[in-house]
Amino acid sequence: VDKYRRKHAAWTISNEFGPFDGRTWFNTAHQGPLPRPALAALEEAVTMKLNPHRIEDRLFMDVPTACRNALARLIHASADDVVIGNSASYGLHLIANGFPWKHKDEVLVADKDFPATVMPWLNQETRGVTVRYVRPADEVLQPSDLKAAISPSTRLFCASWVNPFCGARLDIAALGRLCRELGVWCVINASQAIGARELDLSQTPVDAVISCGYKWLCGPYGTGFAWIAPGLRGKLLPTQAYWLPMLWGRGGCLRHYKLRQDLGARAFDVFGTADFFDLMPWTAAVQYINRIGIEKIEKHNDDLAAIFRAQLDPKHFIRRSPRDPQQQSAIVVFSHRNTNRNRAIWSELSNVGIDVALREGNLRAAFHLFNSRAEVEQTLELLSSAVQKNR
């Protein structure tokens, strides 16, 4: 174990996490851990609440602004287009509930996508909207599949950039380009990608990108954001009028009831935007990720996933993740050849201190910046012995 700990320290790109009770956390696809700079920010938020005189009025604006700026920097976008939410579902519902649907409008979603990416649209069926599932001809959804599915009624396409059930990564630039050509709005749920994959929204032709903040962005549970391009945002019906941003900077008169139209994306922020306990550590986590640089994190994670994929013993295991490197991600989904044995293997790994996920009957390993090559190698060895034990 000491040998692995020493190797781990040498083979990770961040020592600002852990020590996870001495365990190996290969489950960022479920929950990302908080880095130490975020803990310091959380402690500051707690100190403020213990001593409320420290909660200065300006913080109700400054704290969300710092968060918005950090997120905007991460995705190469304008902070004016970033909505602060509390989940991925919040951003998806903003669009689903605010879109000016007409009877018989159609939404296309990817077959076998995560429920959060599908349900907000299903909920519009009472407004006359139809949801149709696009099935890929091959392993992963391609622009040709989407092109074949788009009909004159199609208004919007929504899919997860990286699918948590198989780790497949879509070519969102190509899908977005097609949507733009055919006059269909393109909405991407990037919850399993943002924080682990480079995204330059100044170069990517999509209309909205939504993410939770508590996985690859390493924030607390209860964080999330939505980037909504002005074109799509302008179409959304104003479903909320939150008094705080409406009155902010209006000279202190709290009985000024006139609604304002100049808030941009802020008009869509979740209520209680300056949620100090969540936003302060999350902002520190995103700033920390920005300091390291997504390019470096992406390479580190992809390298670990590649080693894992390459060394997974094909005698015993089948990969559920795609073969094409362009469609792979930092999530590797695999199964014992006898699927019934996955639970016992998962439990065996857990008993020796390695946390992977068991999802839809498969095993899932997710690799992030605090993981190391030593952990991957150790896990591969322990997987072999788990297979021997569970014969």
Ligand X SMILES: Cc1ncc(COP(=O)(O)O)c(C=O)c1O
Q: Which residues bind ligand X (CB under 6 A)?
A: 87-89, 114, 116-117, 160, 164, 189, 191-192, 212, 224
Nearer to ligand X, 59 or 366 (CB): 366
**Alpha-carbon distance 160 to 154, whole Å?**
18
**Alpha-carbon distance 323 to 45, whole Å?**
45
Nearer to ligand X, 109 or 289 (CB): 109
Nearer to ligand X, 179 or 357 (CB): 357
Burial of 184 (0-12, 13-18, 19+ CB in 10 A): buried
Nearer to ligand X, 116 or 217 (CB): 116
Nearer to ligand X, 222 or 353 (CB): 222
Shortest Cβ 85–ligand X spacing (Å): 8
**Alpha-carbon distance 46 to 276, whole Å?**
9
Nearer to ligand X, 64 or 220 (CB): 220
Shortest Cβ 92–ligand X spacing (Å): 7
Q: Which residue is nearest to ligand X (CB)?
A: 89
**Alpha-carbon distance 184 to 172, whole Å?**
14
Shortest Cβ 278–ligand X spacing (Å): 12
Question: Cβ distance 121 to 107 under 8 Å?
Answer: yes
Shortest Cβ 223–ligand X spacing (Å): 9
Shortest Cβ 117–ligand X spacing (Å): 6
Shortest Cβ 181–ligand X spacing (Å): 26
Nearer to ligand X, 116 or 369 (CB): 116
Nearer to ligand X, 219 or 245 (CB): 219
Shortest Cβ 25–ligand X spacing (Å): 15
Nearer to ligand X, 117 or 329 (CB): 117
Shortest Cβ 12–ligand X spacing (Å): 24
Please state the φ and ψ torsions of residue 205, each to the nearest 5 degrees: -80, 65
All residues at 6 or more sequence positions from 324 whose CB lies less than 8 Å from its CB, including other chains: 139, 140
Shortest Cβ 179–ligand X spacing (Å): 19
